[in-house]
Chain A
């Protein structure tokens, strides 16, 4: 039953589409202002539920053979990424009204859904673009200062470059094999043919650009700083998760060997080191998070050095831990009248006395992102490096771990500001209701993952 499969396999995507249409209808009917956030939230929740449900049923189907297929693992990853968008919607509730934000966000999520089920370069490209285009607009949406325009433009231009590289690589692959199947890529990784090699390098670099790996990272700090808090959260968490999971899907069963091994090891290693070093001297929280996410993208690409069977699990777990804790930072960030004030790290000074809850939440998030046990970031890092060692790349693992050590300082600096510095002269600002809900949900889940990592890993 092809028709049924089309309905079932793409159920999460269909629900997202339905939500988009509903939101637009509401806008036309003039009801959007009140209902839009709830509708968006319900839509994503339904999509998460659908993906998770299908995954637990062990559902697998290929409604468009050769282009789009789902199986339990990819559906679970999809459910996870979509679920990470829920706190973003909650945080955004206090900042955006109107229908634009939810519609753009849902469209972008639709793209993520396509990407994670892509079997052909066409679908992958479609997904990548549908995911990225709305984000360019989202960055601009909170147009409060001139930098936003600059940030959006930079992001757009570099995003375009990435697309161009991706297309160039794909066309080389197509030229060589006559196939659009993504499995071509996995086969080309080991090939000695210069054209195949060039194609592989172009595609990998396109992904590096999207995930902000050194030396293609320069757009990220500007874009993160220029966007508003929910959009930054979305870019740092959901977009990154989508790109990484798509990369894992693309690499498929390929084991990396020289020279591609060096490409996938050295640039992410440079990202880890440079991201962590540069983060130390950022005055802005969002720029710091940007550099931190550059480093985290490095760890995530490290997962590709591991054996193919373990990649999906380690990346998904990492994204879960990284996503939850990053979202926690943004959800617990105290509101301020001026966006620029909210972004200044100095304004976190003495936060513990103004808002102990927010300080504790951000503190937990920082320690977890730094990879300090018992928080889930540690198990996530452990899982990735364990796979890297098991694949025989001990030297890269040690270098990566030492690189991760460099990151501890700037995370601790945030704790130092919040707990040990004299109070910044700002009035205490309690968290808004939805942000509070989002942070509670994130921290509860993060602590559960910390307490029962085994259960989570076995279900990935």
Chain B
């Protein structure tokens, strides 16, 4: 009971914070910053407490709240923690204070509005992860776009208007078709089984013919795949990332992109298992294409922010591959990979922001030999680079290794039986993504940290205490997840099993359950 209340508090704290900002004075920037940091830290503390209380031996929802919201439609305000969302909620809450602190020095225009937007994004993301009702989920899913739109558009770089409108229109197009699918899905649930409900737990009971499932999955998948983003729907991402302020990039890469993969895991695949089976070869090919294509593009970028942006596309391809492998290790690896990418990409974007604040350029060629100029910065950068590459002991290794293990485990039997060679081919190609990943990240680090010393701005000051603390926390989390993945994996194990069960059970009409 207490936990459920705390969970609600965790969700609504950012909204409360935004409300506080609304009534606080406009010109006291330091007060605004501290207030935001305090509220965000409190949210993280409460989330961490809930994480500790979360019982990994219980399947299904914990700390649930369910209240009628639009009763006549069967819409409920239903939130709760389960194995699907626990790690992502934790990630979101963890990054909140870091994003806030990271923007202390970089944002000096409309500070109050900025932190209000950070709060609102945090609220919407938290809500989307916690929601257990499709209507509620959709509301948060869409509402997220508004503060992000403003954040990129107001505090972004030169082409910010173009980037932010592209971001909004791109993602909204996916959402509008998903909305049509949501309406149709709920309506067919009502006509076939008589249940009027938007609850995830009820929706997975819907039995639909293959044709309807395929259309609905296509609509959901379009929306989620744009968010992930999967090649070829990724073109909004580099623009949004490059133009966004650091905090925007961190939120985008750290959490927002995981919305897409989370959506696939929580909704897309479990709701339409038969269509998923039909689409798997295509989606898997796209996932592997994303891995390789993203990595290849990252290899040739001159803009340091773009390198990380494209690397995100590549890394999230692994998540998709893991989810589609339908092997327990692969699924769990996908979840770990989501969190790992959230930490690493957030850390790298923060670091790019820090150097940008000092030098005002993101041109890779403008830098060199930073290891001599800013040693502390370079150490952190190297650690995060290696984590991104997937060096053992870091979180990146755990995620990618498990995903690839899952992919091979799933691909081997059909290959041996001579049924299907595609999965194995895809798995092998996906492994090459690891090599490419090492290539582009090391090329980046090599040019950036080593070689002839050059910096567009001198003297270059090294990290201050605030920056060291932010990065230190991220690095600790990266190693924690790399060295001790047991505990988080235990928390997600039952959910991964449930996911596998749901996706592998046919739900065409007229068959025994």
Contact = CB atoms under 8 A, between A and B. Distances in A.
Contacts of A408: 168-169, 172
B195 to A, nearest CB: 15
A372 B142 contact: yes
Contacts of A404: 176
Given A412-B165, A458-B71, A373 B183 contact: no
Contacts of A458: 71-72
A454 B139 contact: no
With most chain A CB atoms within 10 A of its CB, the pick from B113, B176, B177 is B176
Interface string B165-183: 1001100110011011001
A402 to B, nearest CB: 6
A386 B73 contact: yes
Interface string A421-453: 000000000000000000000000000000001
Given A453-B69, A453-B70, A458-B71, A382 B146 contact: no
Given A416-B161, A420-B161, A457-B72, A405 B149 contact: no
A385 interface: yes
A386 B182 CA distance: 9
Given A373-B139, A419-B150, A454 B184 contact: no
B75 interface: yes
A367 B183 contact: no
Interface of B: 68-73, 75, 110, 113, 138-140, 142-143, 145-146, 149-150, 153-154, 160-161, 164-165, 168-169, 172-173, 176-177, 179-180, 183-184, 186-187
Nearest to B182: A382
B69 A454 contact: yes
Contacts of A420: 150, 153-154, 160-161, 164
Interface stretch (A199-207, A248-256, A393-401): A393-401
Interface string A44-73: 000000000000000000000000000000
A246 to B, nearest CB: 25
A397 B186 CA distance: 14
A390 interface: yes
Contacts of A379: 70
Contacts of A372: 142-143, 145-146, 172
Given A458-B71, A458-B72, A389 B153 contact: no
B183 A386 contact: yes
A415 B139 contact: no
Contact of A419 (B143, B154, B169, B177): B154
Contacts of B172: 372, 405, 408
Given A409-B169, A454-B72, A394 B143 contact: no
B68 A402 contact: no
Given A385-B179, A405-B172, A454-B68, 14 more contacts: A367-B146, A372-B172, A378-B142, A390-B187, A394-B180, A397-B180, A397-B183, A398-B177, A405-B176, A409-B169, A415-B150, A419-B150, A420-B164, A457-B70
A398 B216 CA distance: 12
Contacts of B187: 386, 389-390
Nearest to A421: B161
A389 B68 contact: no
Nearest to B75: A454
Nearest 4 A/B pairs, CB to CB = A454-B70, A373-B139, A420-B153, A405-B176
A397 B183 CA distance: 10
A142 B346 CA distance: 57
Interface string A143-187: 000000000000000000000000000000000000000000000
14 contacts: A372-B172, A374-B139, A382-B183, A385-B179, A389-B187, A398-B180, A405-B176, A409-B165, A412-B149, A416-B153, A419-B154, A454-B68, A457-B73, A458-B71
With most chain A CB atoms within 10 A of its CB, the pick from B153, B177, B180 is B180
Interface residues of A, number: 30
B179 A382 contact: yes
A358 to B, nearest CB: 14
A415 B274 CA distance: 42
A454 B71 contact: yes
A352 B110 CA distance: 10
A385 B178 CA distance: 13
A437 B67 CA distance: 33
B18 to A, nearest CB: 12
Contacts of A385: 179-180, 183
A450 to B, nearest CB: 9
Nearest to A404: B176
A453 B177 CA distance: 23
A353 to B, nearest CB: 8
Interface string A352-381: 100000000000000100001110001100
Contacts of B150: 415, 419-420
B107 to A, nearest CB: 15
B411 to A, nearest CB: 37
Contacts of B145: 372
A284 B49 CA distance: 54
A351 to B, nearest CB: 13
B226 to A, nearest CB: 13
Contacts of A394: 180, 184
Contacts of B110: 352
A325 B430 CA distance: 50
A343 B257 CA distance: 40
Contacts of A374: 139, 143
A379 B263 CA distance: 22
B161 to A, nearest CB: 6
A284 to B, nearest CB: 21
A394 B188 CA distance: 11
A388 B179 CA distance: 13
